[in-house]
Structure 1
């Protein structure tokens, strides 16, 4: 049932929502960084060279579009699964090879001459299938007979123009915990995970809602937690805000369009998101706050509205305010939190859900990443 719901929503998302507005034919800003990454972190860029080479060779042999889609689904899933397997088997704590490998696959798909004519619409469809498959989004189903089931999400590395070596603890956590079982006494906790792009356009076109709707519709999850990189410690972001205000660009060097003086609503399928200005998470916060080592963890209530900075005890105190920043800020970290909680409301789900900001990482630091992931495992144990 989960698979049928997921496949239908993914197909609808691609055909109706994304295809008319995405332009994938030219080199993207993200792909343009590959050469620089090759100079500074060649091991990560080249890690999946064999898979990429096999994909490119296969592209030259296929003779129709249905074969292309099958190849893309298979290769994208292989990239995700191989990255998960390599990280977990080798205790790598490294999300960068996955990120740079995906970008090389999209480059080759656009630049390899095929044996058949392909329309721009078909190419866009193919690129989006590759995007979703290589993020775990086509295989994120609960598989095991466990007492509890947890779904988490991560993000790609970002701020790469500042540091091309950058990793993201959220993406690392997704790779290290995907398809694992955490044991805690008589509890067995299955974890499934996916990663999201750091791109405003994908959020505007509904990628979050597309990925999370099947999870919520089956009522299998006991906990859903979105994760991103944040400040100096762990933060449980209690009151996400509706609007974008960040001045930071995304991975395509596109800006949010909002500011502190004029925060803007994000889009959903071409229409402004119409939810309330602030929303409250439903995480088991008191249990999670017990995990104070090695990093502190906070119940972060700080928000900013057009009238000032607030630390509300309840959501009712924010009635009538216009959001500038939620507890998670004014960028995509706050937005994924808001969108998932808003979707939970629309679907009348009772699954505990909310956002966790990890400590900030500068560049790549494997010992720190290991500590972050291990602490998140303990937070999950307490949460269920």
Structure 2
């Protein structure tokens, strides 16, 4: 593991017990330029989240019992998610970073995770207790463990979306993810459509295979796919693709093979199965979108073109895993083994696959579902610059178009009612 430390100016205290950080936590010490401030500290300071993190850390560090520690961790995650959403949507103002910036949430969560991993507490007698608390912090700070629709009215179309954390941090620590920024803009929002209102629930997914193996996608979407009053009317996973395009993905594939994740882990083979949620058996090789893509394409959003993306990679029936047998085509062939969906073979494809495999397992056939890939960002030319007006305007344009596409999908569902 590469040590990027060039001087510790991070806003977190040194761990109080000897502990190995995760790869993600190790990047808290990374800088954009040698001798400069750590990127995490800069983001937290410029967003005003340094004070938030310090305030959330205090009850965790000074908890007087395991029950108090658990309560403090839960409260930290809930407050962090709410603070990120409130800042994004303009209900609160802190720091000088653009409200559309998704990075404060990521680095605040990572900082609190490192604190909790290194906490020398007399209330933690076995490692499973600490791991349980880390899990609790992660899920609550992603907007996952909470009431599904606390503010929805009976007449509102209910739309569930997900964005992703930042990733590609070994290439540049300053990366932002417009899908995560869109999730923060959308959570709890009441959209207006010509056919009635829609209420959005949003969550943030990690870019970590291990968390996907533990069912983070299913835990996020399951509560709104079960039969009953909380069932959504539409689900959509969202992630970032290449520059200058907006793609509604036609096919999700039962496959892994993309680049390493945020923990530098890489997997190959079929998508694992979440043990605690119902799903088809056997898992389907391919799942086709049921999003109202015609309405999304026809909505006339901009600045980027919107298309239904076709094209898959597969092993024809009986040829897996022969490398020379791989083929590409617009749609899967009968009996083939998936190598890549229209959205590739990374966690964006897997988020669509898992959420819609779960939709099938819960027999939510009336709920449209699929994936939207949105344009990548253009960063400041100077790699030492965290942000500038052109970058912020670019991200805002991508996010605003994403919101418009979610609104178009919601309108199509409302029209069918």
Q: TM-score, normalised by structure 2?
A: 0.79
Moved over 4 A (4+): 269-273
Bigger mean CA offset, 208-217 vs 362-371: 362-371
Aligned counterpart, 1:343: 358
Q: What are the ranges of 5 or more consecutive residues in structure 1 without an aligned counterpart?
A: 1-23, 259-263
Q: 1:109: how far off?
A: 1.2
User: Secondary structure of 1:279's match?
Assistant: strand
Aligned counterpart, 1:287: 295
User: Secondary structure of 2:192's match?
Assistant: strand
Aligned partner of 1:298 among 297, 307, 321 = 307
Aligned partner of 1:35 among 26, 29, 40 = 29
* Residue pairs, 1:317-336, within 5 angstroms: 318-336=333-351
Q: 1:270: how far off?
A: 7.3
Aligned counterpart, 1:371: 397
Establish whether residue 266 from structure 1 lines up as the match of residue 280 from structure 2: no
CA–CA separation in structure 2 for the residues paired with 1:51 and 1:40: 17
Aligned counterpart, 2:321: none
Aligned partner of 2:406 among 375, 380, 384 = 380
Mark the CA change 1:40 to 1:63 in structure 2 (over 3 Å): closer, same or farther.
closer
Contact 2:208/2:261, CA 8 A, preserved across alignment: yes
Aligned partner of 1:237 among 249, 259, 263 = 249
Aligned counterpart, 1:18: none
CA–CA separation in structure 2 for the residues paired with 1:346 and 1:25: 40
> What is the number of residues matched between the two proteins?
350
Q: What are the ranges of 5 or more consecutive residues in structure 2 without an aligned counterpart?
A: 1-17, 32-36, 316-325, 380-386, 411-417
Contact 2:314/2:327, CA 8 A, preserved across alignment: yes
* Residue pairs, 1:65-104, within 5 angstroms: 65-89=66-90, 92-104=99-111
Contact 1:76/1:131, CA 8 A, preserved across alignment: yes
User: What is the root-mean-square deviation of aligned Cα atoms in Å?
Assistant: 2.2
Mark the CA change 1:207 to 1:179 in structure 2 (over 3 Å): closer, same or farther.
same
Structure with max Cα Rg: 2
* Residue pairs, 1:38-187, within 5 angstroms: 38-40=37-39, 42-46=41-45, 47-89=48-90, 92-139=99-146, 141-142=148-149, 143-145=151-153, 146-185=155-194, 187=196
Q: 1:110: how far off?
A: 2.0
Aligned counterpart, 1:252: 263
Q: TM-score, normalised by structure 1?
A: 0.86
Contact 1:238/1:299, CA 8 A, preserved across alignment: yes
Q: 1:63: how far off?
A: 2.0
Q: 1:177-215 CA distances to partner (integer Å, 9 max, x unpaired)?
A: 111111234521111100010001111121111221111
Contact 2:28/2:40, CA 8 A, preserved across alignment: no
Higher fraction of helix? 1
Aligned counterpart, 1:9: none
CA–CA separation in structure 1 for the residues paired with 2:130 and 2:288: 40
Contact 1:304/1:310, CA 8 A, preserved across alignment: yes
Aligned counterpart, 2:330: 311
CA–CA separation in structure 1 for the residues paired with 2:131 and 2:400: 38
